[in-house]
Amino acid sequence: MGKPLNVALIGQKFMGRAHSNALSQVSHFFDLPLEPQKHTVCGRNEKELRAFAQKWGWQNCSTRWQDLAENPEIGLVDIGTPNDVHAEQAIAMLEAGKHVACEKPLAATLDDARAMRDAAKRKKRLETFVWYNYRRAPALALAYKLMREGRLGRIFHVRAKYLQSWGGKDTPLLWRFQKKHAGSGAHGDLNAHIIDMARFLLGEEVSEIHGAVSKTFIKERQILGEKRMGKSSVDDAVLFLASFKSGAVASFEATRLASPHQNANSIEINGEKGSLHFDFEDMNLLRFYDADDGPREGGWRRIMCTSAGNHPYADAWWPDAHIIGYEHCFTNMMADIVRVLGGRKPEIPLPDFADAYETQRVLEASILAAKNRCAIKMTEVK
């Protein structure tokens, strides 16, 4: 085992479980330069927090996240809280000399995201990470490698969508439906992922948003624990069209009201030499088309991305075609985080605050395009 890396986590709900599980599993499956330790978990509800800490093996717990900045034993702080508090917590931890991992989107607003990016720039010796965990699906990581090899040639089209159905009228007024906490709805929650996927795969930035539409279909939702209704102040669906700097055109769609889709996070890229298609609901597969196959034998290849030595991360897990799931993306990412903090290279690039800020700019530009019913050049969004 390597030198201990004491990790603290802020937030013990959905993302808290995903991150705790990754920390619990990562050293069992990966040979790492550091040994991550679950040092302290923070949350608001002390009773729930203590139960969570005991269940997931956290050594300490605190209802005051500022304690983490004051503790010299902690090296990495992992932020899994609602979007509106990311900036305050992340900047405080950077100022205290901690490495920081933060859930996506980077922040609730572009101003907060910019402040986080700038704070990270000032602390050049500290590492930052953002949990765009879908990059760590072996099939998507293979797609990245194929594109680095030029297998698709010049890119013409990017077609991305993220469709869910859990946000119907019976879903209560959770923090994700309140702009003051979330910043946006399906846009920041779902479009953020597919924007990151597209930027990651192409290795270039969006140059212009050509048009967008944002809709809130369900205006009121029941307040948790009460009979009265409250206003839903975020979008239920956002669609937009864009161009990349190379000239490739792209479409993006995110919604929480696309029954019966549950987690249909997908992207297709078409180029002059070939195409690829990934859908998270079939996450172990990558579909790849090579134009050199010709019209007689050409068509989608079905690649099961589970072969050790051939597919990213596959050597850490199970025999061929013994598939992995959602939680493994977090474990794969935790492995890459620990590699970087231990002086090694990640399997594939990790998003830092500066990288995630570029995704936040696209989120902002597309909302401006929807609001003003116009095209927005990315040079207009700083």
Instruction: Give the chain's mean pLDDT.
Output: 96
Return d(Cα 64, Cα 46) in angstroms, integer: 10
What is the greatest pairwise CA distance in the chain?
66
Return d(Cα 205, Cα 202) in angstroms, integer: 8
Distance of CA 93 to the CA centre of its chain: 20
Does residue 28 sit in helix, strand or coil?
helix
How many CB atoms sit inside 10 A of residue 140's CB?
A: 24
The total number of residues shown for the chain amounts to 382
For tokens 């019209």, name the residue: 295
Report pLDDT for 281. Answer: 96
Return d(Cα 42, Cα 62) in angstroms, integer: 5
Q: Tens digit of pLDDT for each residue in 81-119?
A: 999 999 999 999 999 999 999 999 999 999 999 999 999
> 138-318+353-372 — its CATH code?
3.30.360.10
The 3-class secondary structure across 298-319, one letter per residue, is: CCCEEEECCCCCCCCCHHHCCC
Q: What angle do CA 94, 99, 104 make, to 5 degrees?
A: 90
Q: Tens digit of pLDDT for each residue in 43-64?
A: 999 999 999 999 999 999 999 9
pLDDT band for position 1 (cuts 50, 70, 90): low
Report pLDDT for 280. Answer: 97
Return d(Cα 310, Cα 146) in angstroms, integer: 12
Return d(Cα 382, Cα 374) in angstroms, integer: 18
Burial 252-262 (b: 16+ CB within 10 A, else e): bbbbbbbeebe
* DSSP state for residue 376 in the 8-state scheme: E
Does residue 41 sit in helix, strand or coil?
strand
Structural tokens at position 191: 């479009």
Considering the entire predicted model, what is its pTM?
0.95
Average pLDDT of the segment spanning 310-334: 97
- Strand 376-377 versus strand 206-215 pairing type: antiparallel
With beta carbons less than 8 A apart as the criterion, state whether 35 and 27 touch. Answer: yes
Return d(Cα 23, Cα 7) in angstroms, integer: 9
Average pLDDT of the segment spanning 131-160: 98
Per-residue CA distances from 169 to 47, 201, 216 (Å): 31, 35, 11
Q: Tens digit of pLDDT for each residue in 365-374?
A: 999 999 999 9
- CATH topology for 3-133 is Rossmann fold (3.40.50)
Average pLDDT of the segment spanning 273-298: 95
With beta carbons less than 8 A apart as the criterion, state whether 172 and 222 touch. Answer: yes
Q: In terms of DSSP H, where are the helices of 191-325? A: 192-202, 294-297
Report pLDDT for 296. Answer: 86
Return d(Cα 315, Cα 31) in angstroms, integer: 11
More confident residue, 223 or 1: 223
Report pLDDT for 225. Answer: 86
Sorted by where each begins, the domain ranges of the chain are 3-133, 138-318+353-372
